[in-house]
């Protein structure tokens, strides 16, 4: 009996272990979004992640099954309820699996789930159901009309119009979806409650060619019986002041609304409430002035009480004017909207020498300030925003140029606290000046709110050096503030444009910090829309004439965003569809260059060159780092051509592969003839020249080592300072590490004096600066004509921190495979990179203690990695305290270059090895 009991106990434990070890499926996404509302995608893509039991290794998917139904209950029922079933598909694909069922119906909600088979052929349970809701798909499904104010607008201040409509829901509402867009910006309410949590909608696109609309599930806002909808409009990017030429009405002079509310009642019947001539409009709203670059004036006395609720009986409203604007340009938003994020309280209050009351929030951010105040009706509050204080502690606004970062409020006078904030503007700031306020302001009544596109945070980096950790924070905050629907160059002055060069050099760093897949995919479609017929890519996207002339021209490093970013999205997120969609644009850009080349040299036309590279005034000694614009252009031509070759290979375009292979050979041969001496020196003896030539493989193998040595000598000649600008800086440390000069790369990284990455950190920066010396060592400023204290381009060093210091590098697209190969140095005793990939969390962490190195690696399920352990041989490496054993999934290759490569499947690994700093200082050396 005891034997039988023991047997049953063991059997039970085995069953429990088996159940625990069973793989589960989680984190279901449709087009990169969880349960999205309103997708205009005929064949959406599904992604999911596997969840393995703790301590389980080598988990991978061998097959999957996806099923789709019209209801969650119908998923298991099959039969008539089923919409699509993939059947069991033998594949390890779990990212961007394409729907292949019957045609989708507009406005319809579909439910889906997935199960996966593991390496042992065992199926998981079905995942929890997820859903997506289809958008309107075609212009014909828009029953709404464009409408605008029914009165003559004030053309100077342009107060925000109010538009409203009352309607009746005669039955219980089962589902209600609001589809909204505008010429300008909109905020909508239903029954006095805000629709959604997105701001600055519908965002900024090339409006004449592409205009986004948003879809909202508003079921919870409606009630059976009388209801009302109210919408406030503002000028925004559509007709507001944009850029540094003070242009208005870029896309049109009139604001307008397109609104459609589709109701499905509990009995299955349907009804729509649409914008049309029956809507009422008024100029008597509280937003009296709103410009993105000039702030907002809000008069709480003028807000009609209850105007967005049923039963409002205001006077003076006029019927809306129906407009004949096109609907063919409409598309459903698929990128994350701008939302509110972190909030900051005042950390310091000062009185300036000028007597100004200044609040310091401790962080340079983008957004606005919420204020609480109590006073009489008409009491005025005026708030000004600034990034920095001058050396004497005065409020500094000169670098804003013509932008007026000022918000003004007039109190309603309720006798209690009033909460106020802007609606249709934003500011780049750290400091707040109180210019007018009823009574004595209290710091606790002011809260700074950060606004940025709600891309999921994915990556982090930290190390043992606190200055580098602050640099990493600065990089991330620079991205947050400037990724506000479009990748702007700066968020504070009269510019705030989607400069292509900044986005191109930063895209890989950006993609580590946050999931930028949808953000960039949307922006790239505008790039293609604004691309000239001859293939020229404007310098800013959405394009404006003043940035590239009436006939757009292209420039190296800027217009190459057309090729670089689509390839990055494919490599880092596995987004093959965006690569295919952008391929014609990519091809047109490379043809544009080829058409303007002479003897396979791109040495014609305008170029920015290595923008804002190091230079000296009165440079008689030739110390300014001036790199030939033509040399730079040739390198980027080769880079884009290499990308085209790779993209053509991925997309199966064999004729293009052959053409680009031949073209690339000619480009590099011409580079050697024109810019390289027989001894291997470059025509421009600058860091950027050698960096680009080496990073883009412009030199034959036999000339690369000496070129890298010349680069290292150049750095030493400038006393271990960089001299690179926008185009050389992103690759500088990568090239040094690649060619055995990691020690030099660390010296550059850790340099604290100008010019360097840490110089702004030592000066108190909390974001990345536009110039290496936006603030000089004596605390005076660079010329205010172009000095931004929140400019992310130089933050591209982040990519080197992740991939070389921590060592986490992508392999197969989307990190299906990756490598972990750190290059410790710089006196660091620890470095960690964490990244949420499409397959799950990946980690690379190393730490030294005495004569030991500990190396922790996490590989998500359904992914594999090659881990390069810094060690002289596999014999001295331990994992979990034991020797490496191929039979346990730890296949070690022969040691080379100071590393032992170990191939691993998913799981968590703890490697240790002897650590000899002097010996391992040569890890990156030849």
Active site residues: 495, 770
Q: How many CB atoms lie within 10 A of CB 22?
A: 16
Token reading at 16 = 């429990």
* Structural Rg of the chain based on CA atoms: 29
Q: Which residues contact 78 (CB under 8 A, 6 or more apart)?
A: 85
Q: CA geometry: angle at 259 spanning 256 and 264, to 5°?
A: 175
CB 474 within 8 A of CB 382: no
Phi and psi at 833, nearest 5°, equal -120, 130
- The answer to whether 688 touches 731, Cβ cutoff 8 Å, is no
Q: Which tokens sit at 387?
A: 């990034």
CA–CA gap between residue 261 and residue 143 (Å, rounded):
10
The three-point CA angle 646-651-656 to 5° equals 65
Strands 256-265, 348-351: parallel, antiparallel or unpaired by DSSP? Answer: unpaired
Whether the Cβ atoms of residue 185 and residue 233 lie closer than 8 Å to each other? yes
* Residues 6 or more apart in contact with residue 665 via CB below 8 angstroms: none
Half-sphere exposure of 563 (CA within 13 A, CB side): 30
**CA-angle at 530, arms to 545 and 661, nearest 5°:** 120
Question: How many beta carbons lie within 10 A of that of residue 176, not counting itself?
Answer: 22
Antiparallel, parallel or unpaired: β 211-217 and 330-332: parallel
> Whole-angstrom Cα distance, residue 477 to residue 113?
36
DSSP state of 601: B
| Residue 512 to residue 461: CA distance in whole angstroms | 10
Q: Encode 791-808: b = buried (16+ Cβ within 10 Å), e = exposed.
A: bbbbbbbbbbbbbbbbbb
The Cα–Cα gap between 870 and 852 comes to 11
Distance CA 721, CA 425 (A): 39
Q: Which two tokens stand for residue 599?
A: 């003897």
Are 684 and 631 contacting, i.e. CB atoms less than 8 angstroms apart?
yes
Q: Which residue has the tokens 């919420």?
A: 370
Q: What is the 3-state secondary structure (H, E, C) of 857-902?
A: EEECCCCEEEEEEECCCHHHCEECCEECCHHHCCEECCCECCEEEE
664 membership: H or E segment, kind and range: helix 654-675
Give the C-alpha separation, 673 to 620, whole Å. Answer: 30
Q: Which of 471, 351, 394 is nearest to 751 (CA)?
A: 471
Sequence-ordered list of residues with C-beta below 8 angstroms from that of 116, at least 6 positions apart, any chain: 23, 25, 48, 50, 61, 63, 64, 65, 94, 123, 124
List, in order, residues 6 or more apart from 734 with CB less than 8 Å away: 695, 799, 800, 803, 804
Tell me the three state secondary structure of residue 569. helix
User: 404 in helix, strand or coil?
Assistant: coil
Tokens encoding 721: 């300072």
Sheet with 864-870, edge to edge strand ranges: 808-810, 817-820, 864-870, 899-904, 891-892
């Amino acid at each position: 009996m005891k034997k039988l009991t023991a047997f049953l106990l063991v059997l039970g434990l085995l069953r429990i272990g088996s159940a625990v070890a069973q793989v589960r499926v989680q984190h279901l996404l449709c087009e990169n979004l969880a349960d999205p509302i309103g997708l205009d995608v005929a064949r959406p893509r599904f992604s999911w992640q596997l969840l393995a039991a703790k301590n389980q290794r080598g988990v991978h998917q061998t097959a999957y099954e996806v099923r789709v139904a019209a209801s969650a209950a119908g998923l298991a029922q099959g039969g008539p309820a089923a919409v699509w079933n993939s059947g069991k598909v033998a594949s390890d694909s779990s990212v961007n699996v394409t729907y292949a069922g019957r045609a989708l119906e507009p406005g319809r909600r579909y439910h889906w789930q997935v199960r996966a088979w593991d390496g042992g052929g065992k199926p998981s349970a079905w995942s929890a159901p997820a859903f997506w809701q289809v958008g309107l798909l075609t212009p014909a499904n828009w029953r709404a009309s464009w409408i605008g104010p029914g009165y003559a607008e004030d053309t100077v201040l342009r107060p925000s119009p109010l538009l409203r409509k009352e309607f009746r829901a005669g039955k219980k509402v089962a589902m209600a979806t609001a589809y909204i867009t505008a010429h300008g910006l909109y905020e909508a309410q239903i029954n006095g409650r805000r629709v959604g949590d997105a701001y600055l909608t519908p965002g900024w696109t090339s409006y004449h060619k592409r205009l986004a609309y948003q879809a909202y599930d508003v079921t919870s806002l409606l009630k059976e019986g009388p209801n009302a909808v109210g919408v406030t409009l503002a000028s925004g990017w559509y007709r507001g002041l944009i850029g540094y030429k003070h242009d208005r009405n870029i896309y049109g002079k009139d604001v307008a609304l397109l609104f459609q509310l589709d109701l499905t009642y509990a009995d299955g019947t349907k009804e729509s409430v649409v914008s049309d001539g029956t809507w009422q409009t008024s100029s008597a709203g509280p937003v009296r002035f709103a410009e993105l670059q000039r702030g907002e004036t809000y008069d709480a006395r003028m807000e009609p009480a209850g105007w967005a609720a049923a039963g409002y009986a205001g006077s003076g409203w006029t019927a809306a004017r129906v407009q004949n604007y096109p609907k063919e340009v409409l598309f459903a938003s698929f990128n994350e909207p701008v939302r509110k994020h972190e909030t900051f309280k005042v950390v310091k209050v000062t009185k300036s020498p000028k007597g100004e009351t200044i609040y310091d929030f401790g962080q340079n951010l983008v957004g606005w300030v919420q204020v609480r105040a109590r006073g009489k009706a008409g009491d005025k509050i005026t708030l000004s925003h600034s990034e920095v204080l001058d050396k004497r502690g005065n409020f500094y606004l000169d670098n804003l140029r013509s932008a007026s970062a000022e918000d003004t409020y007039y109190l309603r006078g309720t006798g209690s606290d009033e909460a106020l904030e802007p609606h249709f503007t934003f500011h780049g700031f750290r400091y707040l000046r109180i210019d007018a306020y009823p009574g004595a302001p209290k710091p606790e009544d002011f809260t700074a709110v950060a606004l940025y596109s709600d891309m999921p945070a994915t990556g982090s980096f930290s190390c043992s050096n606190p200055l580098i950790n602050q640099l990493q924070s600065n990089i991330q905050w620079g991205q947050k503030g400037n990724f506000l629907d479009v990748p702007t160059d700066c968020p504070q002055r009269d510019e705030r444009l989607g400069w292509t060069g900044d986005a191109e050099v930063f895209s890989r760093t950006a993609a580590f910090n946050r999931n930028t897949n949808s953000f960039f995919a949307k922006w790239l479609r505008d790039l293609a829309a604004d691309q000239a017929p001859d293939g020229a890519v404007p310098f800013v996207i959405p394009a404006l004439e003043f940035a590239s002339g009436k006939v757009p021209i292209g420039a190296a490093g800027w217009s190459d965003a057309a090729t670089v970013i689509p390839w990055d999205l494919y490599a880092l997120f596995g987004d093959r569809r965006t690569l295919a969609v952008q391929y014609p644009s990519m091809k047109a850009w490379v043809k544009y260059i080829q058409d303007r080349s002479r003897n396979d040299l791109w040495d014609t036309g305008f170029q920015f060159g290595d923008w804002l590279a190091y230079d000296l005034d009165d440079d008689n000694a030739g110390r300014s780092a001036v790199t030939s614009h033509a040399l730079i252009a040739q390198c980027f031509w080769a880079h884009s051509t290499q990308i085209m070759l790779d993209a053509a290979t991925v997309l199966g375009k064999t004729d293009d592969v052959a053409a680009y292979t031949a073209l690339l050979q000619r480009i590099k041969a011409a580079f050697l003839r024109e810019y390289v001496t027989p001894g291997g020196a470059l025509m421009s003896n600058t860091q950027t020249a050698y960096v680009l030539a080496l990073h883009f493989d412009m030199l034959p193998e036999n000339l690369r080592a000496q070129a890298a040595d010349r680069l290292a000598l150049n750095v030493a000649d400038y006393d271990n300072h960089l001299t690179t600008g926008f185009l050389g800086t992103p690759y500088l440390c990568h090239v040094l590490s690649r060619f055995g000069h990691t020690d030099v790369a660390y010296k550059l990284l850790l340099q604290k004096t100008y010019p360097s990455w840490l110089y702004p950190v030592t000066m108190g920066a909390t974001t990345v600066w536009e110039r290496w010396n936006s603030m000089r060592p004596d605390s005076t400023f660079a010329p205010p004509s172009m000095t931004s204290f929140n400019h992310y381009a130089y933050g591209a060093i982040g990519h080197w921190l992740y991939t070389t210091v921590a060592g986490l590098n992508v392999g197969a697209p989307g990190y299906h495979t990756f490598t972990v190969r750190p290059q410790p140095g710089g006196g660091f005793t620890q470095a960690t990179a964490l990244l949420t990939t499409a397959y799950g969390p990946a980690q690379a962490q190393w730490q030294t203690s005495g004569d030991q190195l500990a190396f922790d690696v996490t590989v998500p399920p359904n992914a594999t990695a090659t881990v390069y352990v810094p060690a002289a041989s596999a014999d001295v490496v331990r994992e979990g305290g034991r020797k490496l054993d191929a039979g346990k999934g730890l296949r070690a290759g022969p040691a080379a270059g100071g590393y032992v490569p170990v191939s691993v499947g998913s799981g968590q690994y703890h490697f240790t090895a002897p650590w000899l700093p002097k010996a391992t200082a040569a890890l990156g050396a030849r």
